[in-house]
Amino acid sequence: MEVAKSTSQIARHKTAIKRPSYSLPIKCLLRDGVLDDSKTFFDFGCGHGLDLKLLVEFGVECDGWDPAFRPKAKKRSADVVNIGYVLNVIEDRVERSAALTDAWNLTTELLVVAAQIELAKPCKELPEYADGVLTSRGTFQKYYTQTELRAYLESELGCDAIAAAPGVFYVFKSESVKQQFIATRYQRRVAIPQRRVSEVLFEQNKDVLEPLLQSVSEFGRIPHPDELAESSEIRSRLGSLKRGFGIIQRVTDVEPWEAIARQREEDLLVYLALARFQRRPRFSELPLRIQRDVRAFLGSYRTACARADILLFRAGDVNAIDAACQKSNVGQLVDNALILHRSGLANLQPLLRIFEGCARALVGEIDDANVIKLHRFSGKISYISYPDFDRNPHPALKERVKVTLPTLAIDFFDYSDWEDPPVLFRKDELLSMDYPKRELYERLSRQEAKHHLLPEPGFGMTDSMWQDRLRECGLKIRGHRLVRAE
């Protein structure tokens, strides 16, 4: 039931809060590398201005405006504009749309939009007002679902909205810049091949060949002359970049370079498959670097898109997902899922990376989630948070976000106030073989299995149940070792 209340009685300024650190949209911008001291920044609805103060200390040229706290400040154009938690406190739909349009018109490169989502909605029932609710403090709040917020932004601005986090979206002015950002999301880091022998020609030209080595490691291919500052000098001394790379191959093994090229090809297919999730760009709209990647690794754009489509459609086939999970060389396989630490995502085969990427395109990055559960038969992906994963031998479950791809539903589960939460076992099985502390965790799991302490894989146990089981056996955990209790 809607409560009769005039707009003038709604205290919007009370929604501005004082935070101890950056707000979530600013954290996303810094995390994703789209805001640094080379960019200008404007905060549309900056509240008390803490983000501005922290960004100035970070070296970013920035300014802000707020109707309550900085009403006389001038609204300025900037490379990056933030309209964070403003839309959800405006009860008038026309005014809400105008605020979004104003922020968009100030943007030259990237608009970041943040709004409250259903996860933040109080459990108690609140009186309805307009398309939202009235809080006990006399403020208005509109709580969006993730898909509703995306649809609203795309409808109002006529551009794709890219999920950065729950309730946070990026809207790019340039199609090329947007595609470069998306492609970078799915590009894995590689280890640079080590030199194995000394070679006179390499040593004589080390000052220009080392940058070439770095560049090929990054691109997976010989760079175009305009992609490497040392290109002219290399061609002057050695004749061509290809000949320069040939010298590099003589002082390193060939296999790592072939592996890097395969990895870049897979990354490109994953990007192109997930680009269709919204609207795959025309070849001419791609950044020049990606156009060159397509030609180098996949021949033609048509061939590349056809291969990417095959992978994308297979990501909707539960039998293909199940088969890929069973063949995975990373993660713990249980009855209904493959469970892995987020560090192992890069080790998944392309089909499973696309499967997970579809969910991330919906919900964005969930920074606290360090365990990912790929459901083998239901088209679901769960992002799970276990704080202190590396320090605690059996960390407690804090939060779970479940994305159901067939229905595009997103469900949030908060366990932070549970007195007796479930705890995690067999951490080592979630990790890739090169994870720094895997052997330590594996040794503890072997000890616990030897004493028949562990539940079956896929089955949980609360902290109190675990402590009871330890006491019954006269054991306790010290660090990541099982020892006799005194």
> Is residue 268 pLDDT above 60, yes or no?
yes
CATH code: domain of residue 25: 3.40.50.150
8 A C-beta contact, residue 412 and residue 118: yes
Residues 169 and 265 in one domain: no
Residue 141 DSSP label: E
Write down the pLDDT at residue 458: 67
Total domains in the chain come to 4
Higher pLDDT, 458 or 135: 135
Instruction: Note the pLDDT tens digit of each residue in 294-313.
Output: 999 999 999 999 999 999 99
Residues 347 and 459 in one domain: yes
Of 43-47, 185-189, 241-245, least confident by mean pLDDT is 185-189
Q: Rounded to whole angstroms, how far apart are CA atoms 32 and 110?
A: 12
Strand residues in 241-357 grouped as ranges (E)? 332-333, 337-341
Residues 117 and 240 in one domain: no
Confidence label for 122 from pLDDT (cuts 50, 70 and 90): low
Residues 6+ apart with CB under 8 A from 180: 287, 289, 290
Q: Rounded to whole angstroms, how far apart are CA atoms 231 and 219?
A: 15
Instruction: Note the pLDDT tens digit of each residue in 65-109.
Output: 999 899 999 999 999 999 999 999 999 999 999 999 999 999 999
Write down the pLDDT at residue 178: 92
Confidence label for 2 from pLDDT (cuts 50, 70 and 90): very low
Q: Rounded to whole angstroms, how far apart are CA atoms 64 and 47?
A: 9
- Is residue 108 situated within a structural domain? yes
Residues 142 and 122 in one domain: yes
Write down the pLDDT at residue 15: 56
Write down the pLDDT at residue 10: 66
Residues 220 and 301 in one domain: no
Q: Rounded to whole angstroms, how far apart are CA atoms 127 and 108?
A: 39
Of 139, 122, 135, 133, the C-alpha closest to 2 is 133
Domain that holds residue 205: 200-252
Instruction: Note the pLDDT tens digit of each residue in 396-418.
Output: 999 999 999 999 899 999 998 89
10 Å Cβ neighbour count for 370?
A: 19
Query: What average pLDDT does the segment 235-251 reach?
Result: 91
Q: What are phi and psi of 211, to 5 degrees?
A: -60, -35
Instruction: Note the pLDDT tens digit of each residue in 138-181.
Output: 789 899 999 999 999 999 999 999 999 999 999 999 998 999 99
Write down the pLDDT at residue 190: 75
Query: What average pLDDT does the segment 250-267 reach?
Result: 89
CA angle 203–204–210, rounded 5-degree value = 60
- Is residue 2 situated within a structural domain? no
Instruction: Note the pLDDT tens digit of each residue in 318-337.
Output: 999 999 999 999 999 999 99
10 Å Cβ neighbour count for 197?
A: 9
Q: Rounded to whole angstroms, how far apart are CA atoms 66 and 170?
A: 21
Helices (H), 364-417: none
Residues 338 and 281 in one domain: no
Query: What average pLDDT does the segment 182-189 reach?
Result: 86
| Helix (H) or strand (E) run with residue 388 in it | none
Instruction: Note the pLDDT tens digit of each residue in 194-210.
Output: 767 668 888 889 999 99
Residues 91 and 238 in one domain: no
Write down the pLDDT at residue 255: 84
- Is residue 302 situated within a structural domain? yes
Task: Write the CA distances from 234 to 205, 257, 308, 335, 484, integer angstroms.
Answer: 8, 20, 36, 56, 65
Of 138, 173, 208, the residue that ends a domain is: 173
Instruction: Note the pLDDT tens digit of each residue in 18-38.
Output: 666 899 999 999 999 999 999
Residues 74 and 120 in one domain: yes
Query: What average pLDDT does the segment 268-293 reach?
Result: 91
Higher pLDDT, 16 or 195: 195
> Is residue 437 pLDDT above 70, yes or no?
yes
- Residues of the chain above pLDDT 70, percent: 94
Write down the pLDDT at residue 18: 60
8 A C-beta contact, residue 320 and residue 377: no
Write down the pLDDT at residue 265: 94
Residues 353 and 406 in one domain: yes
Residue with tokens 């987020």: 342
**From the DSSP assignment, how many helices (H) and strands (E) are in the chain?**
16, 17
Write down the pLDDT at residue 3: 43
What is the chain's alpha carbon radius of gyration, rounded to the nearest angstrom? 26
Residues 96 and 162 in one domain: yes
Write down the pLDDT at residue 250: 87
- Is residue 231 situated within a structural domain? yes
Confidence label for 131 from pLDDT (cuts 50, 70 and 90): confident
- Is residue 1 situated within a structural domain? no
Confidence label for 262 from pLDDT (cuts 50, 70 and 90): very high
Write down the pLDDT at residue 16: 56
Of 62-66, 128-132, 361-365, 437-441, least confident by mean pLDDT is 128-132
- Is residue 323 situated within a structural domain? no
Query: What average pLDDT does the segment 245-269 reach?
Result: 90
Confidence label for 256 from pLDDT (cuts 50, 70 and 90): confident
Instruction: Strand 128-129: give its sheet, edge to edge.
Output: 128-129, 132-134, 140-141
Residues 292 and 430 in one domain: no
Residues 6+ apart with CB under 8 A from 259: none
Write down the pLDDT at residue 123: 65
Confidence label for 4 from pLDDT (cuts 50, 70 and 90): very low
- Is residue 193 situated within a structural domain? no
Query: What average pLDDT does the segment 6-17 reach?
Result: 55
- Is residue 195 situated within a structural domain? no
Residues 248 and 268 in one domain: no
Residues 6+ apart with CB under 8 A from 326: 333
10 Å Cβ neighbour count for 177?
A: 14
* Average pLDDT of the residues of the chain: 90
